[in-house]
Structure 1
């Protein structure tokens, strides 16, 4: 029904083969896109580079969004190598463990600021850097979770952080819409990813989600990838500002 043949796609956030970003990268590539793939640092490279190489990624580079100039350097390389960018996937989030596993009202100002900077503001910075590379329009995606709008036990500080991300998606979609740049958040249900492992009692959340979802099973990274690929396609050109639940209906159950 749709193709991404010839699209230039940047994927930020692969940590290993269980990452949501990896499911998306595979889907983008299967639909014909050319990829740029990043990893956090030298420690992460041995886990991510082989995955990027398996998809014939044309650009591979480290990216630590907390390092001044790192994002600008990456987008400069994309501009020099490709001359444009069609799709951006931002799939990174972080909160210090002590703040994540404590009460929201007890979180430190430093921890909250760090979580917001990495999980939300880095997406806004990437949008600003992607904008001049998308003169004919494009798609920018980030990853949220339904704990942004409902209280999920043990999700704690990341609930307000993801709520901020979703609000940022809506405002960015309004600001960039006239230029044909669409902005969305993918919101899968609980998934067994490396990032999720930092959430206290996460296994209990996985079991509860599987039993309560109308489909009776959890979403997979491939499910998320399929939605991401569609949103990046020309057929989705009149969709923007969406928070897309990909959770077997889990989020509709009271």
Structure 2
């Protein structure tokens, strides 16, 4: 609703003129860039009886927002949007999701840090690549393989199967996937380049509880085990990481002992 400023202002004006703002309290979906750049619009909506605006923030990582989400919003928009909503005495509602295609441990920390800074308690969704969305078509083979393992062997050339049979397998796999998409709270297929299904469930829980200590301890352990860079966090998050703070403390003790 907030993306069309002229229409929203006209709607609110008519709502007030008819006296409906005194009788009906309502809410709507909004987008962060339009609210961040038009704070006066929120005041107009509040006067017309709006009590909440819900936003699909998705992630607080600028990298993920630009590469994967592509809504034209960055973390600065999210913060300004929250500040604007709170100043107008409205209730801000926001949804986030993890398991985005190029999301690594640093990106996940950007999101949970945003929640902590804003005193927000959020249980993120796991990214669902709905049919019709760009992420579905960009990852179609990977998605269908998760519903019929035979397709992975066909796609990598291990087995040569006739085209009609493969087409039937794909349609059956698509049907299974679409049936699971009926409930947004249920897990379907993953498009993450880095995290497995069990890992995403564990990450979801640790982020919901804002347990950055265990999240980063686990990241260290997985990096030591696998050597994969997506588990290695930047120095930006050292203040959340007990392993990094312990290493720093012990290094100082070592220097003192040598002196």
Kindly indicate which of the two structures has a greater share of residues assigned to helix: 2
| Structure number with higher relative contact order (C-alpha < 8 Å, ≥ 6 residues apart) | 1
Kindly indicate which of the two structures has a greater share of residues assigned to strand: 1
Larger radius of gyration: 2
TM-score above 0.5: no
TM-score range, shorter chain: 0.3 to 0.5
TM-score (norm: length of structure 1): 0.36
